[in-house]
Every structure is written in C-alpha cells, then in structure tokens.
Amino acid sequence: MGVILEAVYNLGMLFYYILEAMVVPWIPIKYRSKDVSGQIALVTGAGGGIGRLIAIGLAKLGCKVVCWDIAKQGMHGSLAFELD
Ligand SMILES: NC(=O)c1ccc[n+]([C@@H]2O[C@H](COP(=O)([O-])OP(=O)(O)OC[C@H]3O[C@@H](n4cnc5c(N)ncnc54)[C@H](O)[C@@H]3O)[C@@H](O)[C@H]2O)c1
C-alpha cells in the first residue's frame, strides 16, 4: 500500500511541476519577484566573490546594504565606490 501511495504522490508531483513549468513563464516578472527598494539587506562575505556581487546587485535595486566581512581589505575602496 505504501508503494502505491508513494507512486501516486510522485505522479502528482510530476504533473504539478510540468504544469508549473508551463504556466510560470507567462506570468510577468514584476509579479514573480519581490520589490526590495528601500529595504535593508545584510550581506555577509560582501568583501569579495558572490557576496560582493550580491551587495552591488541589491544596491542597484535600491536596497540599503549593510556589508559584513571578516576581511577588511575587500570592504574599502572599490566596493564603497561601486555601492555609491
Ligand atoms: N564561487 C562558486 O562558484 C560557488 C559555488 C557554490 C557555492 N559557493 C559557496 O559560496 C560561498 C561564497 O563563495 P565565493 O566564491 O564568493 O567565496 P570568496 O572566498 O570569494 O568570498 C567569501 C567572502 O566571505 C568572507 N568571509 C569568510 N568567512 C566569513 C565570516 N565568518 N564572516 C564574514 N565574512 C566571511 C571572506 O573574507 C570573503 O570576502 C562559499 O561558502 C562557497 O563555498 C561558491
């Protein structure tokens, strides 16, 4: 019985994801993404790599970005310039 229930569940999930993949692309992106302008975001590891790119991306979306990193080196200079 457990195997049958699991199969039915997996089949249901399969149809759900297929349906989602067909419907979601037709919904305008502004209804699918959250408006973060004016919000405060804390980005850890913002001194370099992915964290730095996320901090810059959030600043471009109008976020007030609090940057956090253990390495002081990456936190000054170009990051501050790019966030301005
Ligand atoms: N680069 C990739 O393709 C990739 C893919 C999957 C997962 N990741 C993971 O994502 C994370 C970031 O990757 P990355 O490539 O940007 O790394 P990175 O080394 O370029 O940058 C990490 C930053 O985090 C800072 N950091 C480290 N420990 C910290 C702490 N305790 N508090 C605050 N800041 C701290 C570092 O000083 C550095 O500036 C890593 O955990 C990595 O394993 C990276």
**Ligand 1 pocket mutation, candidates 43, 44, 50, criterion most atoms within 8 A of CB:** 50
Whole-number pLDDT of residue 48: 87
What is the sign, positive or negative, of the torsion defined by CA atoms of 19, 25, 26, 32? positive
pTM assigned to the model = 0.74
Beta bridge partners of 64: 40
**Which tops the pLDDT comparison, 42 or 76?**
42
Supply the residue whose CA is at minimum distance from atom 25 of ligand 1: 45
| CA–CA separation, 81 and 45 (whole Å) | 17
Supply the residue whose CA is at minimum distance from atom 43 of ligand 1: 50
**What residue spans define the domains of the chain?**
1-33, 34-84
